[in-house]
């Protein structure tokens, strides 16, 4: 009898606690200092690189492919402009499995550590314009970049 009463009281107490928690509005989530991100900012038509990120113009190299190195956990370079006719040479110099995905496209390529993956001409998979690219495993750690596929071939 006593034990069961005690149990009832505990249950009531738990319910009360639950109610109290629900009634209390969650503390206003303090908006954290926005991290550098490549996502389009409001009012900006296309994604832009964060301040301080240098963009590499690979269109003038005349090479059929452009190298992007993947390290733990960033792309080097993290911002580049390529010709539609250039392919990508994705080299994983890190110790983790990384991935190259381009937002708004079907491009999603895994590159195991120490390996290199070469793509066809990028125009076949990524339309001209600026596109955010990212590693789907480490995007939350800021592993993303911006690739601009030039209109000119």
Q: Please, which residue, 126 or 133, has the CB nearer to Cu ion?
A: 133
Pairing type for strands 79-83 and 108-111 reads: unpaired
Between the alpha carbon of residue 72 and those of residues 10, 94, 103, the distances in Å are 50, 5, 20
Part of the chain binding Cu ion (CB under 5 A), chosen from 100-108, 111-119, 123-131, 143-151: 143-151
- CB of 59 or CB of 77, closer to Cu ion: 77
Which residues, numbered 44-103, are part of the site for Cu ion (CB under 5 A)? 98
Coil, strand or helix: which one is 1?
Answer: coil
Nearer to Cu ion, 83 or 88 (CB): 88
Among 135, 146, 147, 149, binds Cu ion (CB under 5 A): 135
Binding part of the chain for Cu ion, among 36-44, 109-117, 118-126, 139-147 by CB under 5 A, reads 139-147
The pair phi, psi for residue 9, each rounded to 5°, is -65, -40
In this complex, which beta carbon is closest to Cu ion, that of residue 121 or of residue 144?
A: 144
- Which one, 131 or 138, has the nearer CB to Cu ion? 138
Nearest distance from C-beta of residue 70 to Cu ion, angstroms: 6
Q: Applying CB under 5 A, which part among 3-11, 15-23, 117-125, 133-141 lies near Cu ion?
A: 133-141
Q: Is the peptide bond before 28 cis (omega within 30 degrees of 0)?
A: no
The 3 state secondary structure assigned to 50-84 is CCCCCCEECCCCCCCEEEEEEECCEEECCEEEEEC
Residue 137 found at the interface with Cu ion (CB under 5 A): yes
Beta-strand pair 129-134/144-150: antiparallel
Q: How many CB atoms lie within 10 A of CB 128?
A: 15
- Positions touching Cu ion (CB under 5 A) are 98, 135, 137-138, 143
């Amino acid at each position: 009898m006593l034990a069961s009463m005690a149990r009832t009281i505990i249950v009531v107490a738990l319910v009360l606690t639950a109610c109290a928690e629900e009634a209390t509005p969650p503390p206003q989530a303090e908006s954290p200092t926005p991290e550098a991100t490549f996502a389009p900012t409001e009012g900006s038509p296309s994604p832009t690189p964060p301040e301080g990120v240098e963009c590499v113009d690979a269109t003038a190299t005349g090479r059929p492919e452009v190298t992007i190195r993947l390290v733990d956990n960033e792309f080097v370079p993290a911002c580049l402009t390529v010709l539609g006719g250039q392919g990508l040479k994705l080299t994983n110099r890190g110790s983790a499995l990384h991935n190259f995905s381009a937002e708004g496209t079907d491009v999603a390529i895994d590159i195991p550590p120490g390996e290199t993956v070469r793509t066809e001409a990028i125009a076949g998979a990524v339309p001209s314009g600026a596109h955010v690219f990212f590693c789907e495993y480490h995007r939350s750690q800021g592993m993303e970049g911006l690739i601009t596929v030039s209109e000119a071939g």
